[in-house]
Amino acid sequence: MKAVDYTPNPQRPQFARAIRRLERDVLRMGALVEQSFRLSHQALFARNLTAAEELPRLDKKIDRFYRQIESDCTAIMTLQAPTAQDLRCLSAFMQLVRDLERIGDYAEDLAEIAIKIFPYAPHTCLPEIEAMSLHAQAMLATSLKALGDFDEAGGRRLKHLDDTVDDAYDRVYQTLAQQRDVPGVVEPIVLLALAIRCLERMADHATNIGQRVAYIVTGQRS
């Protein structure tokens, strides 16, 4: 099936402007989430605690966008009699901003982990976790580009990219779980297990965004 780019009805210019404004707000929210992800990466892997301290402020901005976009979508659904295709777009927006909000929450969690793990020496599996984080960030960027272009193929591609993060999660988890003769406290191992779980869930939410983009364009759920 060849997808057709979603375009709001040009015969209803006020409605079309409202949809485009929503799209811009979602992408602005996405840019903030990308920034929060980058800061959490710096906090955890560059041991930059100043970056970690920025996360709560960013998370408040992300949450404000989330509430505003949900409210705007609801208002448009209620007051502007959208078509079935427009309703599909609005409902997908409401779902994918939830995915973005959750990625922002996980970024804040990673920053908290970075602060707690800071006193300990870096673990040997940290480079693989860093690669996992970079891949998940690339997935988020890909999902937002797919949204900006209403690119069905780009949205669906996320599902395959997610396999890399899942495989890394399994490998690192097994490394941490099978570690023997741990000197001192086990807190850093527990914290790293939490960190890879955050990254795995962030990649899942990026995948969800891609699938929602494909749904906007085609009307078909994968």
pLDDT, tens digit, 9 for 90 and up, residues 164-212: 999 999 999 999 998 877 677 889 999 999 999 999 999 999 999 999 9
Question: pLDDT-derived band of residue 161, with 50, 70 and 90 as boundaries?
Answer: very high
- What pTM value is reported for the model? 0.91
- The Cα–Cα gap between 137 and 37 comes to 7
Distance, CA of 131 to CA of 142 (rounded, Å): 16
| Residue 175 amino acid letter | T
What phi, psi does 126 have (nearest 5°)?
-60, -40
Q: Which of 168, 161, 149, 167 is nearest to 207 (CA)?
A: 161
- What is the pLDDT averaged over residues 54-59? 95
1, pLDDT greater than 50: no
The yes-or-no verdict on residue 67 having pLDDT over 50 is yes
Question: Token pair for residue 153?
Answer: 């193929």
